[in-house]
A and B are shown apart, each in its own frame.
Chain A
């Protein structure tokens, strides 16, 4: 059980840093809000169009925020050579991965709640099928956080990591974008039955991403 305890330790560390620095709260979440507003401008604030496209726009905003959250999660390891500290801590690579991914997932949840509220108000969406929405959001968020964290360490410490990360992460999470959008669409349309295959896809993706990350993170953190 020390594996999970170590993961909690790392997650606690990252969340404590975020609570004190307030980067997630004061930069990443407002960024999500701005994106939601920009989409409304792009569609000329056409109410019916916004209403129809709301699930996709919501997840597009979340996907862009994932890039910031992951970038931030590894930026704190670059400062003061914290990465070396993490490496020397004796913690298992897999548990470090789970901890960092969990911290990113918690931040994303918070973001989804706030951005989701903005979407409901600004795009005139009435919330239906709460159970489906919640299940889809949990599975999608875990998948996004895990994939982002794998690529975060993959690009970590490289010269062009800020520009490399989006190119690596976004194509890899397209199944999440598709699955989350479709299941949200089905739930909001009042046909939650159609959403379950997509929730299954999201869950399978999340399981694979967590498994891959747990295996690959340790070797990637080590210096070759």
Chain B
């Protein structure tokens, strides 16, 4: 099942790459061939928002007593990790695209700034997860931190509509809901979003399973340590 998932992801990424690199036309107003970064930059940004949304949802489910389960905590952590990687990629790819089109690597515009803040907020979240306390304590603290950090996601997403930014407005989800690009470009963008979403799903699945194994190992090691201690004390006590 997981293999099939991986195979589908790889195939869809391959199709996207072919379309992005050879089928779609270069655009003079977007740095000619640099416009192809669109098919990476927009999907990675979408995955970042999606990942943090999943983290926030899983955190809520953990906090709600009826649905509380370790699964949600581990899922929140796994999704946030993938989200931070994709936020970083979004920033780097956007910077690479900004250089030929805007003439600068970085601009202190609302979209860029709020995305950079997002990156640091979730780095803090991941650091909080790694402070080594009990699973319940970690679940509670990180769930609350995740919900606070999520407040920046809608601000970042809507920043291009709220403020005058150098960053362009939504290509698909803008005020009039009219797709601003056509033909092969629109198709490639959709294909890229779909294949990156598959990639996100696969990465979170892998990371989640790894986290479960880590938790299991910790529990087993603790049990073994206790058993060894009991045995050792038993041996010491025996001669007396």
Residues of A within 8 A of B (CB): 150, 154-155, 157-161, 164, 167-168, 170-172, 174, 208, 212, 216, 219-220, 223-224
Highest count of chain B CB atoms <10 Å: which of A155, A164, A224? A224
Question: What distance in Å separates the Cβ of A54 from its nearest Cβ neighbour in chain B?
Answer: 19
The answer to whether B140 touches A219 (Cβ under 8 A) is yes
Within the assembled complex, what's the spacing in Å between the Cα atoms of A168 and B120? 8
- B-side contacts of A170, CB under 8 Å: 120
Q: Tell yes or no: B123 within 8 A of A by CB.
A: yes
Give 1 or 0 for each of B104-141: 1 = CB within 8 Å of chain A CB.
Answer: 00000000000001001101100110011110110111
Can you list 8 A-B pairs with a CB-CB distance of less than 8 A? A154-B141, A154-B145, A160-B131, A164-B127, A170-B120, A171-B117, A172-B149, A224-B137
Residue of A nearest to B63 (CB): A219
If A150-B148, A172-B121 touch, whether A164 touches B128 (CB-CB below 8 Å) is: yes
The answer to whether B121 touches A154 (Cβ under 8 A) is no
Residues of B within 8 A of A (CB): 117, 120-121, 123-124, 127-128, 131-134, 136-137, 139-141, 144-145, 148-149, 151
The answer to whether B120 touches A167 (Cβ under 8 A) is yes
4 tightest A-B CB contacts, nearest first: A224-B136, A171-B120, A158-B131, A168-B124
Question: What distance in Å separates the Cβ of B71 from its nearest Cβ neighbour in chain A?
Answer: 17
- B-side contacts of A160, CB under 8 Å: 127, 131
Question: What distance in Å separates the Cβ of A147 from its nearest Cβ neighbour in chain B?
Answer: 9
- B-side contacts of A150, CB under 8 Å: 148
- A-side contacts of B151, CB under 8 Å: 208
Within the assembled complex, what's the spacing in Å between the Cα atoms of A150 and B151? 15
Within the assembled complex, what's the spacing in Å between the Cα atoms of A38 and B110? 29
Other-chain contact of B123, A161, A167, A172, A212 (Cβ < 8 Å) = A167
Residue of A nearest to B149 (CB): A172
Question: What distance in Å separates the Cβ of B120 from its nearest Cβ neighbour in chain A?
Answer: 4
If A164-B127, A164-B131, A167-B123 touch, whether A172 touches B140 (CB-CB below 8 Å) is: no
- B-side contacts of A158, CB under 8 Å: 128, 131-133
The answer to whether B144 touches A220 (Cβ under 8 A) is yes
Within the assembled complex, what's the spacing in Å between the Cα atoms of A172 and B121? 7
Other-chain contact of B121, A171, A220, A223 (Cβ < 8 Å) = A171
Other-chain contact of B128, A154, A172, A174 (Cβ < 8 Å) = A154
Residue of B nearest to A178 (CB): B113
Other-chain contact of B144, A157, A171, A216 (Cβ < 8 Å) = A216
- A-side contacts of B149, CB under 8 Å: 172
Question: What distance in Å separates the Cβ of B173 from its nearest Cβ neighbour in chain A?
Answer: 24
- A-side contacts of B127, CB under 8 Å: 160, 164, 167-168
The answer to whether B140 touches A171 (Cβ under 8 A) is no
